[in-house]
Amino acid sequence: MFELPDASDVIAQALAEDLGVDPALFVPGAPAVPGLLEHDVTTYSTVEDGTGFAGVVRARQSCVVCGLSVAAAVYERLSASAGLFDPVEFFPLVAEGERVEAGAPVAEIEGLARAVLTGERVALDLMMVLSGIATRTADWVEAAGPQLAVYDTRKTLPGLRDLSKYAVRVGGGHNHRMGLYDMVLIKDNHLRAAGGVTPAIGRARLRQPSLTIEVEADSLDQAVEAVSAGADIVLLDNMDAAALDSAVAACRETAERRGRDVVLEVSGNITYERLEELSSAGVDRVSASALTLAPPVDFGLDESI
């Protein structure tokens, strides 16, 4: 079971954007708005009030399905905000995180046609984005094998951070820091501004004693200094195979000599094709923005016949 982050703000913003209204109308607990569905001018103009709709959502390509509960929440919020006596019902047909083939039915939808069609784009768009992330993550996890953990990065679409990282978990991957507040990650610009690796780690350890400290190193010397200075994680950035092998060996030797453990991470221009190589390079984990920037998966809603 995957714990879904709070998606109410994202859903409110998305519905408001599509209908051209104030997002406050979709805040949980806000009063219902008679005539809200009239803002979908196409559906309101062409579909008679009271017309029912029963349909099925199908995957149009092979994928790992993610976002079913988000789509259900879209219809729940739209139904409540529009004051529908009979809310739209969304019935998942597969489990969250299940891999399906192209053409597979993944959910059924029933309710007033005006409401179903008004919420269709937002519900499916969120499923498309999240399933794309989960699918790519699952593919990377499989290619990396059990020795190499696959992590995301902070490169996510603004506003979709929590949901994007949720999709990574659904795909079997791991989350790097959620934001700037929950882990110290000292990168090249920080190192230059701080005067080097050792002073940067020293200040961070003093000011954030309870947080994990990771240091980005783009050379063997930086990596070894980071281990010596007490970094919990050393990120070996943009290294080719030869440089990576040397850095891993030197970091492991330094950590052993100092009687401590260090996690080695590799990042920077990581591709799917390199995962097999990296899984045998002696690093613990790989992080890549390719996961959360994956192309969306296509889903379609077809009326049941």
Which are the catalytic amino acids? 121, 155, 187, 216, 237
Instruction: Report the alpha-carbon distance of residue 18 to residue 4 in Å, rounded.
Output: 23
CB 57 within 8 A of CB 299: yes
Tokens of 15: 């519905």
Instruction: Report the alpha-carbon distance of residue 106 to residue 64 in Å, rounded.
Output: 11
Where does the chain show beta strands of DSSP type E?
Answer: 52-59, 63-64, 89-92, 99-100, 105-112, 149-151, 184-186, 213-217, 233-237, 263-267, 285-287, 299-303
Q: Which amino acid is at 263?
A: V
Instruction: Report the alpha-carbon distance of residue 28 to residue 22 in Å, rounded.
Output: 13
